Amino acid sequence: DWRSKTGSEIVQFVVVKWTMACLIGICTGLVAFAVNISVENISGLKLLSTLTFLESDRYLAAALVLGGGNLLLVLLSVSLCAFVAPEAAGSGIPEVKAYLNGIDAPNILSPKTLFVKVLGSIGAVSGGLYLGKEAPLLHSGACIASFLTQGGSKRFKLTWKWLRILRHDRLRRDLITCGAAAGIAVAFRAPVGGVIFALEEMASWWRSALLWRVLFTTACVTVVRQAANNLCQGDNCGVFGYGGLIVFDMSVVSTNMGLIALVPAMLLGILGGVLGSLFTFLSRKIAKFYSGWHSKHESLGKVLQALFVSIITSIFIFGLPWLATCTPCPSTASCPSSLPSGAYKRFTCASGYYNDLAGLMLSTNDGAIRILFNNNSNNEFQYFSLVLYLVWAFALALITYGLAIPSGLFLPVILVGATYGRLTGKFLKSHMGFENIDEGLFAYMGAASFLGGSMRIAVSLCVILLELTNNLLMLPWTMLILLISKTVGDLFNVGVYDQIVFIKGFPFLEEKPEPYMKHLTAGDVCSCPAATLSAIERVGNIVEVLRMTDHNGFPVLEMTSAPYPTLHGLILRSHLLVLLQKKDLFSQNASSLIGQDLKSCKVDFYKRGSGKGPTIDDIQLTAQEEDMFLDLHPFTNISPYTISEDMSLAKAFSLFRQLGLRHLCVVPKTKGPFPVSGILTRHDFMPEYVLGLFPHLKVSKWRRL
Amino acid sequence: DWRSKTGSEIVQFVVVKWTMACLIGICTGLVAFAVNISVENISGLKLLSTLTFLESDRYLAAALVLGGGNLLLVLLSVSLCAFVAPEAAGSGIPEVKAYLNGIDAPNILSPKTLFVKVLGSIGAVSGGLYLGKEAPLLHSGACIASFLTQGGSKRFKLTWKWLRILRHDRLRRDLITCGAAAGIAVAFRAPVGGVIFALEEMASWWRSALLWRVLFTTACVTVVRQAANNLCQGDNCGVFGYGGLIVFDMSVVSTNMGLIALVPAMLLGILGGVLGSLFTFLSRKIAKFYSGWHSKHESLGKVLQALFVSIITSIFIFGLPWLATCTPCPSTASCPSSLPSGAYKRFTCASGYYNDLAGLMLSTNDGAIRILFNNNSNNEFQYFSLVLYLVWAFALALITYGLAIPSGLFLPVILVGATYGRLTGKFLKSHMGFENIDEGLFAYMGAASFLGGSMRIAVSLCVILLELTNNLLMLPWTMLILLISKTVGDLFNVGVYDQIVFIKGFPFLEEKPEPYMKHLTAGDVCSCPAATLSAIERVGNIVEVLRMTDHNGFPVLEMTSAPYPTLHGLILRSHLLVLLQKKDLFSQNASSLIGQDLKSCKVDFYKRGSGKGPTIDDIQLTAQEEDMFLDLHPFTNISPYTISEDMSLAKAFSLFRQLGLRHLCVVPKTKGPFPVSGILTRHDFMPEYVLGLFPHLKVSKWRRL
């Protein structure tokens, strides 16, 4: 509690807060390093042996190594996810976003989830599935932050007094924002981009002070990343692990295309918006189908589904390049090459020729992006190969994203966008007379457009792409394309992350009230009448109320004042549960409690960091105890925010959302026998609930723009 | 009003909103271009003639041209500022920040201010004063936004219906944020940095949607800037105007200094923090002295003061280089050069030698920064020259900043920081064995440290510096230095902008309540009892209340319900003034008004964009009219936010600040004869006011960290 803070406690607070911010950065950096090294080495080994078999024309062995390896890795990943921590499935961004909006879904940030997320991500990415490791890193960062801010653990006797300070809701939320930013910062080598992503897309409440602390965390991540990179220079980290996280250096590309290139750039933006919203729409359908399948077939269904997708992926990876024709090698490069990275893979071609589709298919996803973004590599690809790859990538991204494995969407989206961008660039260059454009640059612009069109993030994507490609001159182009693609996409539907928040049923509070809320009053929707308690209440009644309702906040009424009771304050379920366990507070006689000074009585109300707290069923009371009385006065929040029942719902929403409340007492306009007419909680503001009560409001299709 | 919006009105709103955002960007870009061209040409001509006279050893003529030219330009600038628009003095950042916090100071965004700001800034910068044009550009951007969002002008018959939509407080605030961002974006060639600066430093309320619109504005600015640059290629814009705003391209500098360079970088950060807070402290003293002088001697005092500083500046610009010794020219460069830019100025030296101090002194401020940041120019400066320049720059920055002219602080701060950074780099390189460091890079790091130490902005400065120098590899260094210097500076005092907000006496609402507010209740500080009106009130009484008080919000009481009146709602002074002018609403008989339906009566309450509205003294009523009655029911906000008088002041503050309220009704805990115990306004939350009432709370030195 802040009221009793002394100077030294404030010093403790500051020290712990900043140490934690730094620790979160360091740990996230190390985890990212481990993930990256593992993925690079595992998939590198797999690809190398496949390519070696191919070199010696042993196609069946190559296919078996590739497909079998993929299947095993995916099996590991999906088993962990299905049987150990189902919360680790998916990208994790919607979950963290919901947490930062104030939704305490169970286990989404638990250590178990972290463990599965990291291992599952390694398995899925190195298993060749069409997904990325970036969003899982964000989720891992948030999990690390949550783990570090548990405020000690009773089980492991880590209950140092300083750590207790961490058990403060807002501080935890801030540090989890830091963790999320650290994840993005390390995944994209974008410290500033990570900060802005966390604030634009993740956090529901912004403060300048938070900006500042998040920057500190990403600075720590950057230092760790730099040190890891230095460590891995010169093959110290296994055969293929250079320790570098994805970086697509485009700092040498010429952006001097002339103003005429604005037209194709804008068209690319529109295309990105349309395709992005199509992708979002289809991914919603597929997510619904998958979740039906998951609830019908449970864990085994999840495993089989993932294995099925893995087999399909392997078949296409190995099968599609057969359809491509061989291209003569350019004279400048070492071509064909037998390295696992690089575009010039021989596959089944004769010496001096390369298979362009095999270059994309038989690479890691990071590698494929590097190949597509590559500058000064015009005409490296044939139309047929690019179209085939585009269709394959789009379809596979859709069917992979809903699987019960840790899966990031950034990489597949970038790949799809880069492919159609490169197609556009190639077409413009060879058929439309745009001489001085670079196909690699257009691949980049295509990626930006599809990112904007599907994720609907603007400023942070700008900064991330800027830091990723290390070329400031592309910034105006990137801004233009992102603006157009986001605007076009927003015309059709919401972004892919918001959609998942909706599908998962999180009661997410948007920033603004819905327009129809203007026409309703708080009294129209509140849970009325609320279950109330007296300030001096029989223990049995408290137990009864807790058992019969699932509310988390109860108005406390003062019965003494005539003629009607008045509202004394609000008490939380969690506090009542703690009080019921402290049986020495009970008293035989209600009247003996009146006027008694209980301020000195300290009760430890600290909330546990994660996991479920005790429930009412955990509390055993004798009949005698139930007949005793409990004085709630000292434990009640005596000035809860209240609103009048005739306040418009939109205004009530603003109050509730801006102040981050969990309960809002609705009081009657005129004095009556009940001082509280009801309570508003998060669920009372959900559009589905409100529109269920008042279906005639559903007419307006226009969202507030 | 939003409640009555139809689909087509929403389309109007969206179209107008985005068009305005783009227009603001374009206009700001054009103004910046004009300012830049003028400054470059005027000061270029001035410097060129000075240098020509110097070449032919006509020192007196050179001094007269330089000093006389400066004096004339400064006279123009300060006269405009002193006699036409005193609000245009200073940087404008604190004023815009205060406006965005909800403070309507008169004239700070008026067209007159814009005019004086632009012309004054040109005069002051090209007049050789030691200040920058960046912050004035921000203020100009905000003024342009304010001007464009007037919602039409009755005088010029521009009252198109679509423009009326703009007369909405929050929309205006959002667009002014866009204008501020556009100013920074164009000044520093930093579109993303501008967005983040606006959000980190300027805006008091953030929304993701705002981020997105601000980015659109800065994208428009970037396009204009790019077009202007293209236009000016090849001497089209006068002799010296290349149309380029300040850009310090450092993209080729090697940042590979090894981890050992962390130590001097951290020391530089600490030094920046200490010097920055010293600068802030001294600038406060000087601002106080100046404001005393200004109030004593009025406009003429301002003019004389500025002329005095101009003469001192000219004397030192011309005098100091005589103290420096001549340095032999390096063989690689064209040296000495007679161009107005560049480091190698001959001054009084023999052929083959250059005067290093003259290079810094006889340049524009932009040019001096380019010289200091220059890479691969080690040992260009001598210790003595750098120390002399540092002392001069620090002192002159202090005495120039408080003058009554448009003055930006970015440039002088960067120059001071770059000078001590270069000194440090030179020392490390020649005496400490740091072989592979670059003096230019250290100048940059010094500038970052002094910026962080004096302005206490972190994330946006990072991005601005990143975009300004076009080198991503310096990002980790920049982050580290800014973090350290801001932290060190915050130990001593607040940043330089916050300090000016305080000195100017703006009732600025901080983000968090002060700690002592926990110990007070709302009832302790509110203006009690509030002046109230009846729902059906005699016109004379309304006039009386308006004349006797200077409140802006009045609780409206419903007298009919027995036994005590109830709170009907809140009405604003501005609305009452409009109603008093509509005499057809008056009625002879109070009882005839009861139950009357006035909902259909539309009154135009739109607030004028800027300038003062009508006051109570403008309203002339006959005695007969004063005896009539007015029904306030339809014009009252019937659900104002209310709090109980025993709510802690800290909670009341959060409600007030987060929701951006102007009035907060305080109601008594128990029903009494008065349904409202008072009203809380912005002034009731000001620390000076609260601590004046409760001086014993002043003990705690600790600010909430």
| Residue from B641, B659, B699 to probe the interface with A (highest A Cβ count within 10 Å) | B641
Residue B85 corresponds to which amino acid? A
- Position A2 scores a pLDDT of 46
- Position B463 scores a pLDDT of 85
pLDDT grade for A592, boundaries at 50, 70 and 90? low
Tokens for B672, please give them. 């009494």
- Position A6 scores a pLDDT of 65
For residue B334, count other CB atoms closer than 10 A to its CB: 10
CATH 1.10.3080.10 location in chain A: 2-232, 259-324+365-503
Partner-chain residue, chosen from B14, B208, B222, that has the shortest CB–CB distance to A200: B208
| CB A129, CB A408: distance < 8 Å | no
CA distance B518 to chain A (A): 7
- Position A335 scores a pLDDT of 74
Tokens for A632, please give them. 């709630």
Partner-chain residue, chosen from B192, B226, B670, that has the shortest CB–CB distance to A566: B670
Whether B475 sits inside 8 A of A222 (CB atoms) is: yes
| CB B702, CB B491: distance < 8 Å | no
B44's enclosing H/E stretch is: helix B7-55
State yes or no: pLDDT of A389 exceeds 90: yes
Residue given tokens 């196609």 in the structure block: A59
CATH 3.10.580.10 location in chain A: 515-699
The percentage of chain B sitting over the pLDDT mark of 70, rounded to a whole number, equals 87
Residue numbers in B near A16 (CB within 8 A): none
pLDDT grade for A268, boundaries at 50, 70 and 90? very high
| Residue from B100, B101, B202, B206 to probe the interface with A (highest A Cβ count within 10 Å) | B206
CA distance B109 to chain A (A): 25
* Mean pLDDT on B43-62: 87
- Position A243 scores a pLDDT of 40
- Position A308 scores a pLDDT of 94
Helix (H, G, I), strand (E, B) or coil at A337: coil
CA distance B562 to chain A (A): 11
| Chain B residue nearest residue A561, CA to CA | B670
CA atoms of A359 and B273, how far apart (whole Å): 52
State yes or no: pLDDT of A40 exceeds 80: yes
For residue B602, count other CB atoms closer than 10 A to its CB: 8
| Residue from A9, A13, A15, A212 to probe the interface with B (highest B Cβ count within 10 Å) | A212
Average of per-residue pLDDT values in chain B: 83
Whether A459 sits inside 8 A of B212 (CB atoms) is: yes
Whether A14 sits inside 8 A of B479 (CB atoms) is: no
Q: CATH number for the A259-324+365-503 domain, one of 3.30.200.20, 2.60.15.10, 3.40.250.10, 1.10.3080.10?
A: 1.10.3080.10
CA distance A217 to chain B (A): 11
Q: Which CATH number is associated with domain B259-324+364-503?
A: 1.10.3080.10
Partner-chain residue, chosen from B459, B638, B639, that has the shortest CB–CB distance to A192: B459
- Position B209 scores a pLDDT of 78
CA atoms of A444 and A440, how far apart (whole Å): 6
* Mean pLDDT on A88-97: 90
CA distance A656 to chain B (A): 10
Q: Which CATH number is associated with domain B515-699?
A: 3.10.580.10
A508-517, A629-638, B251-260, B540-549 — which is least confidently predicted? B251-260
Partner-chain residue, chosen from A518, A643, A658, that has the shortest CB–CB distance to B2: A518
- Mind listing the pLDDT tens digit for each residue in A518-536? 888 888 887 767 788 888 8
Residue numbers in A near B670 (CB within 8 A): 561, 566
Whether B206 sits inside 8 A of A206 (CB atoms) is: yes
For residue B491, count other CB atoms closer than 10 A to its CB: 9
Whether A705 sits inside 8 A of B651 (CB atoms) is: no
Strand A629-631 versus strand A566-572 pairing type: unpaired
The CATH topology of domain A2-232 is Clc chloride channel (1.10.3080)
Residue numbers in B near A655 (CB within 8 A): 641, 655, 659
- Mind listing the pLDDT tens digit for each residue in B558-579? 876 667 788 888 888 888 888 8
Burial of B622 (0-12, 13-18, 19+ CB in 10 A): exposed
pLDDT grade for B591, boundaries at 50, 70 and 90? low
Whether A192 sits inside 8 A of B466 (CB atoms) is: yes
- Position A24 scores a pLDDT of 94
CA distance B680 to chain A (A): 16
* Mean pLDDT on B118-123: 94
- Position A701 scores a pLDDT of 47
- Position B222 scores a pLDDT of 84
A439-443, A694-698, B364-368, B641-645 — which is least confidently predicted? A694-698
Whether A216 sits inside 8 A of B483 (CB atoms) is: yes
* Mean pLDDT on B585-606: 62
* CA distance from start to end of chain B: 40
Which range has highest mean pLDDT (A201-210, B62-71, B364-373)?
A: B62-71
| Chain B residue nearest residue A519, CA to CA | B3
Residue numbers in B near A566 (CB within 8 A): 669-670
A480's enclosing H/E stretch is: helix A475-492
Peptide bond into A563 cis (omega under 30): yes
Burial of B460 (0-12, 13-18, 19+ CB in 10 A): buried
Which range has highest mean pLDDT (A113-127, B13-27, B103-117, B312-326)?
A: A113-127
- Position B94 scores a pLDDT of 92
- Mind listing the pLDDT tens digit for each residue in B189-248? 888 899 989 988 888 887 777 888 898 899 888 888 877 877 777 666 665 444 444 456
pLDDT grade for B2, boundaries at 50, 70 and 90? very low
* Mean pLDDT on A4-27: 81
State yes or no: pLDDT of B156 exceeds 90: no
State yes or no: pLDDT of B25 exceeds 50: yes
Query: Given 3-state DSSP classes, what are the helix, strand and coil percentages for chain A, each rounded to the nearest 5?
Result: 60, 5, 30
- Position B241 scores a pLDDT of 46
Q: For residue B556, what are the contacts with CB-CB under 8 A and spacing of at least 6?
A: B532, B533, B534, B535, B567, B568, B569, B570, B571, B632, B636
Whether A208 sits inside 8 A of B200 (CB atoms) is: yes
**Which of the pair, A368 or A253, is modelled with greater confidence?**
A368
A23-27, A70-74, B404-408 — which is least confidently predicted? B404-408
| Chain B residue nearest residue A198, CA to CA | B208
Strand A326-328 versus strand A642-644 pairing type: unpaired
**Which of the pair, B179 or A381, is modelled with greater confidence?**
B179
CA distance B194 to chain A (A): 11
Partner-chain residue, chosen from B207, B472, B476, that has the shortest CB–CB distance to A226: B476
Burial of B684 (0-12, 13-18, 19+ CB in 10 A): buried
- Position B701 scores a pLDDT of 47
- CA Rg value for chain A: 29
| DSSP code for B637 | B
Whether B212 sits inside 8 A of A655 (CB atoms) is: no
Whether B215 sits inside 8 A of A459 (CB atoms) is: yes
What is this model's ipTM? 0.82
- Position B245 scores a pLDDT of 44
In the sheet that B663-667 helps form, which strands lie side by side, from edge to edge? B642-644, B663-667, B678-681
pLDDT grade for A413, boundaries at 50, 70 and 90? very high
CATH 1.10.3080.10 location in chain B: 2-232, 259-324+364-503
Inter-CA distances, A85 with A346, A444, B353, Å: 42, 36, 74
CA distance B549 to chain A (A): 28
CA atoms of B385 and B219, how far apart (whole Å): 41
B201's enclosing H/E stretch is: none
* Mean pLDDT on A1-14: 65
| CB B124, CB B77: distance < 8 Å | yes
CA distance B192 to chain A (A): 7
| Residue from A168, A211, A700 to probe the interface with B (highest B Cβ count within 10 Å) | A211
- Position B592 scores a pLDDT of 64
State yes or no: pLDDT of A450 exceeds 90: yes
| Residue from A229, A467, A472 to probe the interface with B (highest B Cβ count within 10 Å) | A472
State yes or no: pLDDT of B123 exceeds 60: yes
- Position A613 scores a pLDDT of 65
- Position A702 scores a pLDDT of 44
State yes or no: pLDDT of A246 exceeds 60: no
Whether A639 sits inside 8 A of B641 (CB atoms) is: no
pLDDT grade for B530, boundaries at 50, 70 and 90? confident
pLDDT grade for A118, boundaries at 50, 70 and 90? very high
* Mean pLDDT on A395-409: 90
* Mean pLDDT on A27-42: 90
Residue numbers in B near A97 (CB within 8 A): none
- Position A548 scores a pLDDT of 85
CA distance B587 to chain A (A): 29
* Mean pLDDT on A689-702: 72
Q: How many contacts, defined by CB atoms under 8 Å, are there between A and B? A: 146
Cα dihedral A472, A474, A476, A479 in deg (nearest 10): -100
